[in-house]
Structure 1
Amino acid sequence: MERVWDLDNCHLHLLLNKNREFPDNLTLDCVFSPLLTMSWVVDSRVAVLLPVSLITISLIRRLLKKNGSGQLLPPGPPQLPVVGNALATDSKEPWKTYAEWGAKYGDLLYVRFFNRDVVVINSEKIAKDLLEKRSSNYSSRPYIATLVPFGWDNNFVFTPYGNEWRLARRLFHQSFRAEGALNFRPMQICKTHQLLMNLLETPQNHMAHMGAFAASVIMSATYDYEMGPSDESFLRIVEGTLSGLRYMTPETTVVLNAFPFLLNLPAWFPGANLKRSAISSLKYVNEMIETPLRHVEKSIAAGTAGPSMVFDLMKRKEQEQPDRVAEFDQALRRASWASFTGGTETTGSILLYFVLAMVLHPHVQERARAEIDAVVGKDRLPDFDDQPSLPYIEAIAREVVRWQPIVPLGVAHATTDSDVYEGYYIPKGATVVANAWAMSRNETLYPNASQFIPERFLDNQGQLVDPESPNFSFGFGRRICPGRHIGEASVWAVIASTLAVFEFSKGKDAVGKDIDFVPTSSVGLTRHPDPFPCRITPRLGMDAEKLARLMDSTIA
């Protein structure tokens, strides 16, 4: 027989045979599917235990959870017993749910997922007031049950606020601060030229080429590791490592956060798919951390090591006191891995959204190429010296980042103490989410916000109206993305260079007609566009020989 509990699209299937025995293939399909973007399965005895545990947690919460200040929590939608707002949240795109609630209840929201307090910030002003002006209280990270089992606790981006985080971030910042990032620009131009040649030879593989470019830049900057087209084993490690990123958000792990024992099921347990995924992820993470570090160590021993973040840090480690070497070494690992994961995933996705924007808006390409031809000419490719003279290219880069926020909810913050903001009580230990998606759709600042309009960043004379990109794209306060300077430079170089060399257009069907499509995205902690029909064709009679000459002229 089959018994089904229907909790507003949340299905709990319990299959029992006539003898009420539990079959080996019994599954808990997409438990609370609005809450988890992953599909995982556990034994039916866990299915019986889960609702009992939920009720127990709810009763304990009602007895113990009190607002010590006597002040009101921020407004928010009505909550169900036990699960709170979990069932009402779009598990795939929660930022859109939060934006809708923000329009109804205000830019500071309180929601609850099981036993977790969540405060959602939908405006840039409130984000700066709390996450920047009160950063000492808002710079930690919430508990995420999947971090340790999947190996992602080794990334300082997720490390709670404290001395371990400070040391790792300081090591990272020394290489990738604004001044330090300038040292990588010649390398970024060379990598951009490699990308142009790849796009010329196999334009149909543009999605893979953009991802490989992003990985290549960050691997070079972090480890002086040159990725080649034959690095299939390393690319396998990269893919396996990044696949675990989708399990690192509070929204996708609310059930696991409330019931972490589910991750302690043995891998052999029937239906323990999540446990097996964690084992695989941990293996890839360890390889991703150790393989390039060994490369640097071997290069230093051979006297062939080139400049990189890890090379500089390993030389510095030699000067550390013996009792601090282990601490320094752990911080080095956290910083280097954060560099790779952050730079690869975000930069590659931004570039894919750039291609999508160009396919959908050919008039933007026309204006951009006119600016490039006027400033750079046709005898060389753009380089960073041209950046101040190409404001429309910069406007395109900023609009891509605003139009499609890659990390729409950022990485969640957590309060270290309770707080009061404009009369509203924010609990100690609350998860605090800055909704970059809602900020990007602020119609007051960005009229027709869903449309791609680079001109919004230019004045009537065609000059940039703001010296910086939209702040919300990179986070806030002490947790702002420390690698944003090298990331922005990579994005600018690719946009300027590809527009100088190629035209982007819709794909054609068998009879030569444009293929219309509705863009869609894959989502997790980050977003990237799904494959779409696209043609990338060289302009100005470009071929491999001519492109090589332009590259030589630019570098010279």
Structure 2
Amino acid sequence: MAILTLLVLASILGLFALYKRFTISNRHRTPDGLKTLPGPKGYPILGSVPDVPEKNSFIKFADWGKEYGPIYQVNLAGSNHVWISSDQISKDLLAKKGAIYSDRPHIPALLSDNRTSSQYLPLLSKNDGWARQRKFASTIMRESEKANFHRYPELEAKRMLVELLDEPNRYNHALESFISRVTCRLAWGHSEASDELKQRARELLVGVSPTGALGNKLPFLMSLPDWLVPAKAWERRRAATERKFFEVMQGEVESDMRDKKAPASWMKIFLQNREKWGFKYELEGAYAVGMHGIAGALTIAAPMQTFCLAMCYYPRFLPMLQEELDRVCGDRLPVAEDRPNLPFLRAVIRECLRWRPPVPTGIPHYLTEDDEYNGYHIPKGSVMHPLEWAISRDPDMFPDCEAFNPLRWVEPGYPTYQEPLTQFPTIINSTQFGYGRRVCQGQTVADEDLLIGIGSIAWLFNMSKQDISNPTGEPNVVIDSEKVENITLGTNPQGSISSEELNTGVDSPVPGRHTMEDVILSKYSYPGAAPKVDSMDEKSPFTEQKTAVQKSTKMLDPTLDFSTLLIAKPLPFKFHLWPRDSERVSKVRNLFNENHQNGDYSSNREFWGENQGADKPLGWGKV
């Protein structure tokens, strides 16, 4: 039986390869008078897939850009991918010619066609669903911004700081929870679903990433029955769980509104005038809100993790940032009104996005008609990649581009300097948020979260890669990546878990006590995690990028140990974190306690029963 199954799979794969080869050869004929875009030759059937490393593939694509020019094409298993390493070319094509460059490519691993399902706005083709959901998104973002995002980032920053004080070795969890809680509040008015939102984001990220779900690597598998393809069964369960989650969250806001106790939220805006938006199916509003929640849950945390990395490897900038915060904020945490007076904080945030962009390959566009650019033919059906890693390393715009240097945004003489400093630098409309009609509509949320989140961390904490003398008397705490390991799914070695071990309260965390999220995730590989690196080389992070990743797993540049999915995040690393002084610690704890006593912080919530629905129709999937 097993041999027969393998023969069937081999036959299907062979037929698929022949079909792709025939269709590609006909589709990509270059018209007379035009040239074919340059690019690597590749291999039969597979194209250049064998030449692209799964780890930090964006560096390989950037290197090809240096070899073949700022726009080139690559055949990846029969699909034509065009990579753009220039901001100007990206604008010329993706923005100025948005009428034909604004679609999205098909994502095979998703059961519902991402282009037409009206489920995920960022993944929709340019159609009626895309138009009505963009209109809705514009409204909810504008209303949130006018209300200073309802002070949700400032509220959750206090909880994040207490978590960092109590368990700094779980800094990744604290930063991601901060973003997820703020996003939950914006989406539905409450933070209790933050762990669930993070898991929905993790699973969807696996599903949409080229290096994630197996269906994206071998699309023909999605046409086979579930029993033969576990990846397809996994996606079916993920989609059903997501749908139910969105439905439950909408129902709870409806209930809150009937009881006249609904906090401000995007869902509340939708429900107050359902008919206004013209949504076409029962849960389109639930998806329109939930998708924005998912989009923010993990992407915004990545630059915060990059901030920790940058302050450890470029330590001279942390005292400069703290001086500005102390001068502007004094003995209080930063608030939204401080923004005009914090240009260096904004410069640090802007540089985090440039130095280690969270989506280094860019969000792909899809070309719907044959096109021409500077004498080169770009065939219809090409997947267009504004390669953010390369765009953010333009040596003319970013001198010494491999170095983290926020001064490039605030000192005259740099090409990136812009006045007035009360407004610039800003991440708004930066290339990381996309081009043309596909610009991210949630960038103002990201801007506010990062200003408050990173500003609060720098206001309270010192950090260092090395174990240095601490004059405050507070203990240095080592955050060790060796304690944050990827563990494959398996049996809990402790057998049963007590209710105390599954504590999900909001009181100050106790070392050794873990939330339900920790218990579940301890059984799974972290999404996008690379194979465990044997050791970190202590060489300078200024090593040239072309030598940053060897064929072996050892990293030459420890600042390039990134996850492998579409959203690239720094993997947990070893550094030291401690509070600047005891007065700030007391201030933060008092503020947190006041909000806690007022009922502002709720416990995390479980949605799917014991063990988050393991072995049940709905629940958390392996990531």
Same fold flag (TM > 0.5): yes
Question: In structure 2, what is the equivalent of residue 498 of structure 1?
Answer: 457
Separation of aligned partners in 2, 1:419 and 1:64: 13
Deviation of the 1:325 alpha carbon: 5.3
Separation of aligned partners in 2, 1:186 and 1:259: 45
Matched, 1:446 2:405: no
More deviation, 109-118/390-399: 109-118
SS in 2 for 1:326: coil
Matched, 1:193 2:158: yes
* Corresponding residue to 2:202 among 242, 248, 265: 242
Question: In structure 2, what is the equivalent of residue 29 of structure 1?
Answer: none
Deviations 1:469-489 (A, max 9, x none): 372111111111100011111
Question: In structure 2, what is the equivalent of residue 71 of structure 1?
Answer: 34
More deviation, 403-412/87-96: 87-96
Deviation of the 1:115 alpha carbon: 2.9
**1:265-304 correspondence to structure 2 within 5 Å:** 265-269=224-228, 272-304=229-261
TM-score, length-normalised on structure 2? 0.74
* Amino-acid identity (%): 25
Question: In structure 1, what is the equivalent of residue 573 of structure 2?
Answer: 532
Separation of aligned partners in 2, 1:250 and 1:537: 38
Question: In structure 1, what is the equivalent of residue 336 of structure 2?
Answer: 384
Question: In structure 1, what is the equivalent of residue 298 of structure 2?
Answer: 345
Deviation of the 1:215 alpha carbon: 0.6
Deviation of the 1:100 alpha carbon: 0.8
Separation of aligned partners in 2, 1:60 and 1:418: 15
**1:11-22 correspondence to structure 2 within 5 Å:** 22=2
Deviations 1:76-134 (A, max 9, x none): 12132222222222233332221111101111111222332221111111111111111
Question: In structure 2, what is the equivalent of residue 326 of structure 1?
Answer: 280
Contact in 2 for aligned 1:135/1:478 (Cα 8 Å)? yes
Report the CA distance shift for 1:149/1:312 in structure 2 as closer, same or farther (over 3 A).
closer
Report the CA distance shift for 1:181/1:205 in structure 2 as closer, same or farther (over 3 A).
farther
AA aligned opposite 2:286: R
More deviation, 339-348/279-288: 279-288
Deviation of the 1:406 alpha carbon: 0.4
Separation of aligned partners in 2, 1:117 and 1:276: 29
Report the CA distance shift for 1:349/1:287 in structure 2 as closer, same or farther (over 3 A).
farther
Question: In structure 1, what is the equivalent of residue 133 of structure 2?
Answer: 168
Question: In structure 2, what is the equivalent of residue 119 of structure 1?
Answer: 82
Deviation of the 1:538 alpha carbon: 1.1
AA aligned opposite 2:195: L
Question: In structure 2, what is the equivalent of residue 485 of structure 1?
Answer: 444
Deviations 1:442-481 (A, max 9, x none): 2221122222111111115999636333721111111111
SS in 2 for 1:112: strand
AA aligned opposite 1:363: R
Report the CA distance shift for 1:512/1:197 in structure 2 as closer, same or farther (over 3 A).
closer
Separation of aligned partners in 1, 2:100 and 2:307: 36
SS in 2 for 1:213: helix
SS in 2 for 1:529: coil
Report the CA distance shift for 1:67/1:202 in structure 2 as closer, same or farther (over 3 A).
same
**1:422-441 correspondence to structure 2 within 5 Å:** 422-441=374-393
Deviations 1:122-173 (A, max 9, x none): 1111111111111111111011111226989521111111111011111011
Contact in 2 for aligned 1:167/1:331 (Cα 8 Å)? no
Separation of aligned partners in 2, 1:353 and 1:257: 28
Report the CA distance shift for 1:461/1:61 in structure 2 as closer, same or farther (over 3 A).
closer
Question: In structure 2, what is the equivalent of residue 50 of structure 1?
Answer: 13
* Corresponding residue to 1:89 among 52, 55, 58: 52
Report the CA distance shift for 1:550/1:224 in structure 2 as closer, same or farther (over 3 A).
closer
Question: In structure 1, what is the equivalent of residue 520 of structure 2?
Answer: none
* Corresponding residue to 2:178 among 202, 213, 217: 213
Separation of aligned partners in 2, 1:252 and 1:67: 33
Question: In structure 2, what is the equivalent of residue 27 of structure 1?
Answer: none
Structure 1 segments (4+ residues) deviating >4 Å: 149-153, 250-253, 255-259, 460-464, 511-517, 548-554
Deviations 1:341-374 (A, max 9, x none): 1111111111111111122222111111112222
Separation of aligned partners in 1, 2:179 and 2:2: 48
SS in 1 for 2:338: helix
Separation of aligned partners in 1, 2:460 and 2:585: 11
SS in 1 for 2:226: coil
Separation of aligned partners in 1, 2:313 and 2:216: 41
Contact in 2 for aligned 1:241/1:284 (Cα 8 Å)? no
Separation of aligned partners in 2, 1:284 and 1:181: 33
Matched, 1:398 2:350: yes
* Corresponding residue to 1:137 among 88, 100, 108: 100
Deviation of the 1:63 alpha carbon: 4.8
* Corresponding residue to 1:472 among 431, 434, 445: 431
Deviation of the 1:386 alpha carbon: 1.9
Deviation of the 1:48 alpha carbon: 4.2
Report the CA distance shift for 1:537/1:131 in structure 2 as closer, same or farther (over 3 A).
same
Report the CA distance shift for 1:487/1:182 in structure 2 as closer, same or farther (over 3 A).
farther
Deviation of the 1:387 alpha carbon: 1.8
Aligned residues: 504
AA aligned opposite 1:362: P
* Corresponding residue to 1:365 among 310, 318, 326: 318
Deviation of the 1:439 alpha carbon: 0.9
AA aligned opposite 1:204: N
Deviation of the 1:435 alpha carbon: 0.4
Report the CA distance shift for 1:344/1:258 in structure 2 as closer, same or farther (over 3 A).
closer
Question: In structure 1, what is the equivalent of residue 223 of structure 2?
Answer: 264
For structure 1, the 5+ residue unaligned runs are 1-20, 25-41
More deviation, 512-521/128-137: 512-521
AA aligned opposite 2:20: I
Separation of aligned partners in 2, 1:503 and 1:428: 52
Deviations 1:170-201 (A, max 9, x none): 10111114973553052221111221222222
Separation of aligned partners in 1, 2:447 and 2:59: 26
For structure 2, the 5+ residue unaligned runs are 469-475, 481-535, 539-557, 596-623
Matched, 1:155 2:135: no
Report the CA distance shift for 1:490/1:56 in structure 2 as closer, same or farther (over 3 A).
closer
AA aligned opposite 2:204: G
Contact in 2 for aligned 1:405/1:437 (Cα 8 Å)? yes
AA aligned opposite 1:186: R
* Corresponding residue to 2:191 among 219, 226, 229: 226
Report the CA distance shift for 1:64/1:108 in structure 2 as closer, same or farther (over 3 A).
closer
* Corresponding residue to 2:367 among 402, 415, 419: 415
SS in 2 for 1:528: coil
More deviation, 158-167/544-553: 544-553
SS in 2 for 1:523: coil
Deviation of the 1:416 alpha carbon: 1.9
Separation of aligned partners in 1, 2:35 and 2:451: 46
AA aligned opposite 1:54: A
Report the CA distance shift for 1:334/1:121 in structure 2 as closer, same or farther (over 3 A).
farther
Separation of aligned partners in 2, 1:383 and 1:552: 19
